[in-house]
């Protein structure tokens, strides 16, 4: 047996078990893996009805050196282990919602998204969620989850007035647009309602509704260029603009967005925040236009001016775009 073990060590001297675990395509380092598994074990062993213990676990997760997505996964698991395994999950969810700790409130509401029939038919839990949606003294993040819960069961009208009020406060553009997204999502299948929201006197609602179709392409382009808007809102505007039918005007606008004065970081990527160029480059690459492709072929040197951490992904996107559309590019493809 000892020979077998020594042979295994000789053949695999640098095996890292952390390499076997990734979260959103991000491999965990050895130390992160150890931290993640330790917290995971603590979650599994914890009695879910001990609110003080749940708070303590949330503190430990927040204080860990794990990246945010890994922390979110652990919080989700904590919700599943505490509420999903409870003898009376709705009663326990009600206790979480009735607490003054917004972390417990958000934990409960996050779990309730997967149990809509139960909470929607539970008068006490439903009332507590409605109270949170209406409570102007708590954070907008917590209220947004409550809005989304009511939207998920087609009962958004119960909290719509509060959501509109939050969307109107554009001094906090991030929260305003997130509230507007919930409002617009409820009407997504109703073209007349979307058209009405696109004329709203509430800026965030108007801008989010105009991003649904191509009728307001000019407005989307304006938002994409507006440095006062949150980065994720500008990124959404670029994507909405890119969905519009190809034309000389839209192509020229996308080429203009390659100019450094319109660059920004923080657009929503599939797994992590990204640079605006990572959105613009693929939109140009997929257009059968010699002018667009010629611009991309000469764009590599400009990507070298990006900061480390932003530059690598943009260059990967550019190289991938050039390679994917190799048959329509006349010039050399960068590695």
pLDDT tens by residue, the chain, 335 residues: 444 443 333 333 333 444 457 776 678 888 999 999 999 999 988 777 788 999 999 999 999 999 888 898 999 999 999 998 888 999 999 999 999 999 999 999 999 988 888 898 999 999 999 999 999 999 999 999 999 999 999 999 999 999 999 999 988 999 999 999 999 999 988 888 988 999 999 999 999 998 887 778 888 899 999 999 999 999 999 998 988 887 888 889 999 999 999 999 999 887 788 999 999 999 999 887 888 888 999 999 999 999 988 889 999 999 988 875 544 444 444 44
Query: Residues 228, 237, 291, CA angle at the centre, nearest 5°?
Result: 110
User: CA-to-CA distance for 89 and 94, rounded, in angstroms?
Assistant: 8
Nearest-angstrom CA–CA distance, 304 and 275? 13
Structure tokens at 183: 């409002």
The DSSP code for 204 is H
Beta-bridge mates of residue 275: 265
In degrees to the nearest 10, what's the CA dihedral of 138, 42, 92, 51?
Answer: -60
Look at residues 140, 224, 211 and name the one whose alpha carbon lies nearest to residue 174. Answer: 140
Q: With contact defined as beta carbons under 8 Å apart, do 57 and 42 qualify?
A: yes
Rounded to the nearest 5 percent, the helix, strand and coil shares of the chain are 65, 5, 30
pLDDT of residue 324: 58
Can you give the pLDDT at residue 309?
A: 82
Note the pLDDT of residue 249.
Answer: 85
Report pLDDT for 14. 39
- pTM for the structure as a whole: 0.72
Nearest CA to 295 among 322, 315, 274? Answer: 322
| Structural tokens at position 301 | 């040197």
CA 101 to chain CA mean position, Å: 24
Q: What is the rounded CA–CA span in Å between residue 188 and residue 209?
A: 9
Beta strands in the chain, from DSSP E residues, in sequence order? 22-23, 26-27, 265-268, 273-275
- Burial class for 195, CB neighbours closer than 10 Å (0-12, 13-18, 19+): middle
């Amino acid at each position: 047996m000892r020979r077998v073990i020594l042979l295994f060590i000789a053949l695999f001297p640098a095996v890292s078990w952390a390499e076997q675990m990734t979260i959103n395509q991000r491999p965990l380092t050895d130390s992160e893996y150890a931290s993640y598994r330790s917290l995971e074990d603590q979650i599994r062993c914890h009695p879910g009805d001990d609110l003080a213990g749940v708070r303590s676990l949330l503190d430990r997760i927040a204080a860990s050196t794990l990246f945010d997505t890994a922390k979110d996964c652990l919080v989700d698991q904590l919700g599943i282990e505490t509420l999903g395994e409870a003898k009376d999950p709705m009663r326990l969810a009600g206790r979480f919602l009735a607490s003054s700790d917004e972390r417990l409130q958000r934990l409960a509401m996050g779990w309730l998204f997967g149990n809509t029939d139960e909470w929607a038919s539970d008068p006490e839990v439903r009332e507590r969620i409605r109270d949170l949606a209406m409570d102007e003294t708590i954070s907008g993040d917590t209220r947004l989850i409550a809005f989304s819960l009511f939207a998920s069961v087609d009962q958004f009208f119960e909290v719509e007035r509060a959501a509109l009020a939050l969307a109107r406060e554009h001094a906090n553009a991030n929260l305003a647009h997130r509230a507007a997204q919930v409002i617009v999502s409820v009407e997504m299948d109703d073209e007349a309602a979307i058209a009405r929201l696109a004329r709203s006197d509430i800026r965030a609602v108007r801008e989010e509704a105009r991003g649904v179709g191509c009728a307001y392409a000019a407005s989307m382009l304006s938002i994409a260029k507006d440095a006062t808007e949150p980065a994720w809102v500008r990124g959404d505007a670029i994507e909405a603009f890119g969905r519009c039918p190809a034309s000389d005007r839209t192509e020229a606008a996308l080429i203009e967005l390659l100019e450094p004065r319109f660059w920004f970081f923080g657009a929503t990527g599939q797994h992590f925040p990204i640079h605006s160029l990572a959105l613009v480059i693929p939109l140009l690459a997929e257009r059968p236009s010699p002018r667009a492709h010629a611009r991309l072929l000469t764009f590599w040197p400009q990507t070298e001016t990006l900061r480390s951490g932003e530059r690598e992904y943009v260059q990967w996107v550019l190289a991938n775009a050039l390679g994917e559309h190799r048959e329509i590019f006349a010039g050399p493809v960068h590695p």
